[in-house]
Structure 1
Amino acid sequence: MKTKLKKYLILFLTLGIIAIGLYYLNLPNRHRAIIKTTLLHKLKLVDNSWNIGYTDSSTTFISPTFVVDNIYKSMEGPQALGTFQIDPNKSELVWLNSFKISAIGINELDSLPRDYICHSNLDYYDGEHYGKWELFDRIGKYYPRLTSMSSGIEEYKFPEGFGFPIFTDENIFLSTQTLNHNLRNATFSLKHKIDLGFHKHSSGMKPLISKSLFIALPYENKPNKIDYNSISYNSNSCLPVDTKNHVYLNHEGKSVSGHWFIPTGKSTYRSKVTHQLNLKDSTTLHFMIPHLHPFAEKLEFRDVTNDSTIFTSLAKNHIDKIGLNKVTYYSSKKGYMLSPEHEYELVVYINNTSNKIQDMMASVFAFMYDKDMAKKIPNSMQTND
């Protein structure tokens, strides 16, 4: 009896392992990376801790260890996330004004190629942040992402005299993700180092507000009827990469995707972003940083009403491998005046030089002068250029 029971247990255990294995193998690459990274960190098979350093002008976050064992396109690789503070030992108003991400070895000393940086997102908690300034009408209204450091733009700084006001003990949410477009049949480990720079409060600083603008394309097929094996160029629709992520209902109630497949060759996509800007009053644009995927060549931010281009970002791709080498961004102390009466759009120009379909995203973080916040800052002397 015991022998039979033992055999049944072994059989059920074997079948269970096979079922779990088949389920795992059928998961998308992104979800397999989440499971592997979670297990490695939970079981402490690799370093699962964040190493944080504080100075009077910066805070440095070194991520847990990432194990790269596969080709990981954008949005697919191992990642880590957590809630932190600029400095939990103080409660001082500071101005975030510079951002940097780099790939390093697990000894936290060696520099590694930036090819392994997908993106690192920095969010604030809007209830806590705007509650401090009694700007209650903003809570829950905008996605509270301050910025994103990504492949092609790993380091940047706001124009002199501008920043994002935040208290040092205020909660922020940081996530960082790896990338590997080119190394097959290789397994290696690395970490990400994120540096947030800031100024101590001074009366001459001008506050910026960040709006996330992205190309959102309509798709007509129902998710379970999308043919991912047959993709042709259509500037008025798209095939979403994953209908469970980056798919939304826009302000008109239509299904749109911000992460879509592109065919081989050249293509162009455009999308109105006026509703995403949601301007209540005229204000000046001072900084704009794009987030693009490989094979993008140019991104334009346009004033449709004036039929003019406000900013053109040029993306330089690697020649001998997949990846973005450099992406240009907009920075101006004087700024460009935006009007709530105008229509605005993003246009991305793509050249997929590979021999297969690829994925694409095209977005910008637009930093504008924050008039309402300027009135709230203590001892403020902000003036609009």
Structure 2
Amino acid sequence: MRKSKIYKILGVLMAIGILGSAIWYSQLPNRHKAIVKSFLFEKLGITDGDWNVSNATGTYAMISPEFYIDGIYKSMEGPKSSKYVQLSQDSTLLWLTGFEVKALENQSGIPVSNDFICHTNIDFNDVKYYSSFHLEKRIGIQYPRLTSLSHGMEKFNFPDGYGVPMKGNELLYVTTEALNHNVPDADFWIRHKVVIHYTKDKKRKPLMSRTAFIMLPYDKRNPYKEPTDPGTNQCIPVETKNHSYDDGKGNKLSGHWVIPPGKNTYRSSIDTQLQLQDSLRLHAAAIHVHPFATSISLFDATLGKAVFTSAIVNHKNNIGLTKITPFSSEEGIWLYKTHRYEIVLEVNNTTAIPQDMMGSMFLFFYDKELDDILRKN
């Protein structure tokens, strides 16, 4: 076969490959397009894929790789990056006391609007963490997410005298993701600066984290059917692959759903998530919601009243969250094993189109069992 013919065949195959890749890419949701672009930019050397880390006493700071913002990225859709973190090189006991994240201009490092922060998750290895304190019975009971910062709550500190203890050389897994609700013609780069605050001060009481979030049922046979039957409390999931759960009876639940225009209230039981084996004293809560949420409550269904309510302020002239009020209390509030608890979320979708929503809480309780172990040691 002559070389000219071989070149023609290769050219045709290459053109088919490029066309097929373009069609495949065009059909991806924004979330997966962002993943593909970030991967290609890093492999081609267009972006710096490294994290810049500094670890001063009491402050572990990380600056993320570059994120390219080239259009609208709603919650859970933007480019993101992850990194394993060790606060120290030895097993010295440290106390985590707070977390924060800022958006930065790519080159100068000057802070820009936090509207470009979707969320920052802090996960831990529950096998190593609980094993190091001889609490193996807790392994695998809850998803090992310590906390999450998000748009509207970019900073969170525990009340004075409290913290989460951990060995300094154990790993934390940090993931931060970009957001853009309001700049459709975007063409710029940003980074995120993530800071973990810690101390060696032993005069603290330990906190344990429990994650609770609203889960609403949807029709697994026809999940996107509209309108939903209000009598069944069903929702329309954003998608059925992520944040989709089973209630143990074959019914599907979604933690990421669609809200129609106007005001609505969403609620669901969190008893199975709290797993209260005994009464616990709540001292702090970090909140994660999406724009158009107006308040979220931890609700005692047994007493018929809120344990606490977090007020939420939305931007006035565009889409976004100005402030989410955290819960923090040195005194604490008791939650009881014999009571039933819910999360209740109020929303007001002021646009003319459906929007996506989540309602989550990262609840921090005084950990007496761990406190007793630490005191003995």
**Structure 1, gaps ≥5 residues long:** 381-385
What code does the residue aligned with 2:285 have? M
| Residue of structure 1 equivalent to 2:137 | 137
Asked if the contact 2:81/2:177 (under 8 Å) is kept, the reply is yes
- Does the alignment pair 1:303 with 2:287? no
Counterparts of 1:361-376 in structure 2, within 5 Å, are: 361-376=358-373
SS at match of 1:191: strand
1:206-246 C-alpha deviation (Å, 9 max, x unpaired):
11011110000000242xx3336x45683701111111100
Q: How many residues of Structure 1 are paired with residues of Structure 2 in the alignment?
A: 375
- Give, in whole Å, the separation in 2 of the partners of 1:353 and 1:232: 20
| Residue of structure 2 equivalent to 1:85 | 86
User: What is the RMSD computed on CA atoms of the aligned residues?
Assistant: 1.4
What code does the residue aligned with 2:292 have? F
Task: Indicate how the Cα distance of structure 1 residues 161 and 183 shifts in structure 2: closer, same or farther if over 3 A, else same.
Answer: same
The equivalent position to 2:349 in structure 1, one of 352, 367, 385, is 352
| Residue of structure 2 equivalent to 1:176 | 176
- Give, in whole Å, the separation in 2 of the partners of 1:213 and 1:227: 25
Asked if the contact 1:159/1:286 (under 8 Å) is kept, the reply is yes
**Structure 2, gaps ≥5 residues long:** none
- Does the alignment pair 1:153 with 2:150? no
- Give, in whole Å, the separation in 2 of the partners of 1:348 and 1:233: 19
| Residue of structure 2 equivalent to 1:72 | 73
Q: CA deviation at 1:109?
A: 2.7
Q: CA deviation at 1:251?
A: 4.4
| Residue of structure 1 equivalent to 2:107 | 107
SS at match of 2:102: strand
- Give, in whole Å, the separation in 2 of the partners of 1:304 and 1:346: 10
Counterparts of 1:51-62 in structure 2, within 5 Å, are: 51-62=52-63
| Residue of structure 2 equivalent to 1:34 | 35
| Residue of structure 2 equivalent to 1:13 | 14
Asked if the contact 2:220/2:252 (under 8 Å) is kept, the reply is no
| Residue of structure 1 equivalent to 2:195 | 195
What code does the residue aligned with 2:35 have? I
| Residue of structure 2 equivalent to 1:250 | 247
Counterparts of 1:149-298 in structure 2, within 5 Å, are: 149-202=149-202, 204-222=203-221, 225-227=222-224, 230-231=226-227, 234=230, 236-298=233-295
1:72-98 C-alpha deviation (Å, 9 max, x unpaired):
0000000000212112x3331110011
- Give, in whole Å, the separation in 2 of the partners of 1:373 and 1:261: 40
What code does the residue aligned with 1:220 have? D
SS at match of 2:34: helix
Q: TM-score, normalised by structure 1?
A: 0.94
Q: CA deviation at 1:378?
A: 4.4
Which 4+ runs in 1 deviate beyond 6 A? Answer: none
Asked if the contact 1:232/1:263 (under 8 Å) is kept, the reply is no
- Does the alignment pair 1:23 with 2:24? yes
SS at match of 2:356: strand
- Does the alignment pair 1:328 with 2:325? yes
Asked if the contact 2:228/2:236 (under 8 Å) is kept, the reply is no
Identity %: 41
